[in-house]
Structure 1
Amino acid sequence: MRSMSGLDFMFGILNGDISMPPIGQVMNYALAEVAPGKVVFRGAPGFTHCNPMGGVHGGWYGTLLDSCLGCAVMTTVPKGSSYTTLEYKVNLSRAIPVDTEILATAWIDHAGRSTGTAHGEIRGVADGKLYATGSTTCLIMKLPES
């Protein structure tokens, strides 16, 4: 990771040269698109992502948006650096029906030397409905020398 920019790292995941993080398999979403300052994830919540009332757990929305927002910041991180989430906020607009395919899209708002911010949304693929929005602030940091 020290040898490539954040954008190159994200393209490596998209192209399959770098393994997808295991959280994507557990949460049933994957990176679908990468561009400078923008990423898109595609997925669908399943029954295993439901709360006791049978609805998709809010943590699914939050985990997906945290991944998507952070990866948008990662596309701006210079070679030899990485990021970590400092805080994120999620607003749920409506319930996502189980097995509904969605796109989560995030766009960079600011990328500085030490922080990055991004905003994003979750929309249905078939219906285009807005299911959630979110924002993040990330810490950008130099990776330690080996």
Structure 2
Amino acid sequence: MAEQYPARSPADLPTREVVAKMTGLEYMQAIVEGRIAGAPIAAVMNFRMHEMKFGEAAFRGTAEFQHLNPMGGVHGGWYGTVLDSALGCSVATTLEAGAGYTTLEYKVNLTRALKPGVLVECRARVQHAGRSTAVAEGTIIGVEDGKLYATGSTTCIILRG
């Protein structure tokens, strides 16, 4: 299996025509398997897709120095970005070919400070997948310590062509 990689330029991203022929789950699995490029933000934020199943998505990542706020803590935006990515991708796994989604709103609750260098897993699961909206919930948990660092939820709009 090829190694997963983020897009480094617009030319790395698959065309709309290519994506439209795949179900959301097929698209997400193609990224995990390294057959197509993943989102460029994954490189910037130091996380990657870990596992994709119908209605579920898991990412793993590590906040580093460049993700710190002026006080020296991991910026809340890092937690939010990882959660938004996993939550949205869990919704994507439920979509038929040709459909898309966008985040309508999301909420993040930080439950404890995350130290740079701690590997975490963000796991999201769809709670509702309807005709025009979907709702998902997720957590960020330390891989080695098992501690809960954040929770989140989202509502996404389903876009049909």
Judge same fold: TM > 0.5, yes or no. Answer: yes
Q: Which residue of 2 aligns with 1:64?
A: 82
Q: Which residue of 1 aligns with 2:58?
A: 40
* CA–CA separation in structure 1 for the residues paired with 2:96 and 2:128: 14
The alpha carbon displacement at 1:110 in A equals: 0.6
The alpha carbon displacement at 1:18 in A equals: 1.3
| Residue from 53, 58, 68 that aligns with 2:71 | 53
Matches within 5 A, 1:112-127: 112-127=130-145
TM-score (norm 2): 0.88
Percent identity reads: 55
Q: Could you list the per-position Cα deviations for residues 25-48 of structure 1 after superposition, in whole angstroms to 9, with x for gaps in the alignment?
A: 000000000111111000000000
* CA–CA separation in structure 1 for the residues paired with 2:27 and 2:135: 19
Is it true that 1:80 corresponds to 2:89 in the alignment? no
Q: Secondary structure at the match of 1:103?
A: strand
Structure 1, unmatched stretches of 5+, are none
Q: Secondary structure at the match of 1:116?
A: strand
Query: Higher relative CO (CA 8 A, sep ≥ 6), structure 1 or 2?
Result: 1
Q: Secondary structure at the match of 2:20?
A: coil
Structure 2, unmatched stretches of 5+, are 1-18
Q: Which residue of 1 aligns with 2:147?
A: 129
The alpha carbon displacement at 1:113 in A equals: 1.1
Alignment: residue pair count: 143
